[in-house]
Amino acid sequence: MINPVLKRALQTWGEQPQMLMVVEEMSELMKEILKNISRKKDNIDAIIEETADVEIMLEQLKENYNIWSKVENYKANKIKLLEKRLDEWDATHAA
């Protein structure tokens, strides 16, 4: 499941500080995406770095709340719904 180093970070620095770090990292990614879109800034390296940070923190979040399988199930259902919407889109926009 979780990388042992990430579990160790969660145990070392504690649940609340690490959950606040999740929010901080998501905010930093959001900021870089907005810069890229609104300012046409070439900041792909920053987007890559912040995406990695968010993914790391999301793993700690899933471990902290013990929600690994529930997240995966929910994600699978969301992907099925997305596929259905895409199929409907394709059917109504076919040339």
- Residues 42-87 have pLDDT tens digits of 999 999 999 999 999 999 999 999 999 999 999 999 999 999 999 9
Give the model confidence (pLDDT) of 1-45 as tens digits.
789 999 999 999 999 999 999 999 999 999 999 999 999 889 999
Three-class SS string for 8-77?
Answer: HHHHHHCHHHHHHHHHHHHHHHHHHHHHHHHCCCCCHHHHHHHHHHHHHHHHHHHHHCCCHHHHHHHHHH
Domain ranges of the chain: 1-64, 68-95
| Predicted structure pTM score | 0.90
